[in-house]
A and B are shown apart, each in its own frame.
Chain A
């Protein structure tokens, strides 16, 4: 049982980071980035191709992170330009449709051109003992990386004036403009972050199981589910919801079955929308 819960936490941390990247963009810019999973996959491919070209693993990972950040920037400068021109619901709707279009284009191409590509980072060394449970080294390393990244995120948002500025845009966009903050610039920063976070998830996931080109849409779906439960624009909410859903998912998969476990997650998200649309820690409309 402890082993399952620990596995659930490992999964939960991944969920949390995915949701963090997704929820920041949704909470700050009102943009639903349905191509988020593809950003993760493309970053993973960058790492894969670098490694195949002989680049040592740490450098390849760095390339992957940079790729993620660049993808976020490219998104901001291209596909999101027409989306920014709308406000409110029109913006969310258009972002949903346009990013879905991009997602399909990327997914279709990758699956056709590199159907078998998969990123898998082997962490050498035997299992590590955690409170009596032998955990795979890859799970531990990946989880530690995610925890560090979360720590960095919290430090950024609470401790730096830029981080506070970003939060203020999520809190009240007009209010942030009234103190001289440019929401478009903040959104660009957040999109770059979002891309990097997607890359981190792809890399850490590959330490546990291979990340294939088909992982795009499942990643986006998970990001959406956890974001909905955790609340818009809240990184803490993302982490909390991620951990809860990670544990529930692992328990359900073990005792009930894979498909029904996914249904439970989906239902959790639906119930959250129906009962408490702002999520666990989101901004109440």
Chain B
């Protein structure tokens, strides 16, 4: 259900009248297409360097991950510390279904996306059923992430263990070429933005905001908190899986480090915290910023973790709401109180 919803570009299936839906669509499509237009220029600039284009594709993948995480954590407050693992289900799932099982690539990606979505939804459902608070949800999902990493390492027969999996399928496909892979990834990310934007504007988004601000009040107002949490997890995890799967195919290989906690989750949290937890376009800003920063730091090896660590501290101490909301606040204050 969520899969088809994402593919059905932009039509608000949930809530609202038809006209309302059309208005929402316009105010959403314009910024999104603007972002798309700007990002579409990147290949013009970097197109010659295969290395830099790969970095750009990775940046888009992270944008996708961050949007998914934003939907799960930013919208419904579920601290999923298994972003990498869910993306890994998408990535490894696609690789295995395409190569080992022999399915066509789009089908493999689809199945892997559904798998990631279901796992994320299951985690959310468990957390809801057991009334796990934010911390325990974080710990349980962290446990899942670590277990997944070890599963990848341990089931070498299926996954290639530590050295990873070289993907044979799609070597001549669309996702192999740098530019085509970039545009496919960009399209997917834009779709994610639209999906998230539409959700926010619909009654689903209203429910999200209500339950995030005051869960008890939301329940009293008739919001089925559990259901919306699981919805958010299903959609967000689908995004993670899809981004992970497409990225895997564009790279032609996957390894445990591709989706490890220290490689993905940490970075995604920083990207989202920087851009703005819960803000729609925050993930794009965060992903763009840190992809660029990471490129400058790539020669420093382990030392890269130092600024990331420092940033986590600085961000959560002083700019906990992220750049976009904070800037928005500052601008609102400058404009002065409304008459």
Chain A contacts to B: CB under 8 angstroms: 32, 79, 82, 89, 92-94, 96-98, 100-109, 111-112, 115, 217, 221, 224-225, 228, 257-260, 262-263, 266-267, 269-270, 273-274, 277
Contact = CB atoms under 8 A, between A and B. Distances in A.
Contact of A100 (B135, B140, B143, B312): B312
Given A98-B316, A98-B317, A273-B132, A105 B310 contact: yes
Interface majority SS on A: helix, strand, loop or mixed?
helix
B303 A108 contact: yes
Contacts of B146: 221, 262, 266
28 contacts: A89-B134, A89-B135, A93-B134, A93-B135, A96-B138, A98-B317, A100-B309, A104-B312, A105-B310, A108-B305, A108-B308, A109-B302, A109-B303, A112-B306, A115-B302, A257-B154, A258-B154, A262-B146, A263-B147, A263-B154, A266-B143, A266-B150, A269-B139, A269-B143, A273-B136, A273-B140, A274-B126, A274-B130
Interface in B247-300: 262, 266, 269, 300
Contact of B135 (A32, A101, A269): A32
Contacts, number: 114
B76 to A, nearest CB: 15
A156 B336 CA distance: 60
B313 interface: yes
Query: Interface residues of B: mostly helix, strand, loop or mixed?
Result: helix
A96 B135 contact: yes
A108 B302 contact: yes
Contact of B313 (A101, A107, A111, A112): A101
Contact of A105 (B79, B153, B300, B306): B306
B133 A98 contact: no
Q: Of B79, B135, B266, which is in contact with the most chain A CB atoms at under 10 Å from its CB? A: B135
A89 B306 contact: no
Contacts of B269: 97
Contacts of B306: 104-105, 108-109, 112
Nearest to B153: A259
A161 to B, nearest CB: 32
Nearest to B262: A217
Contacts of A115: 302
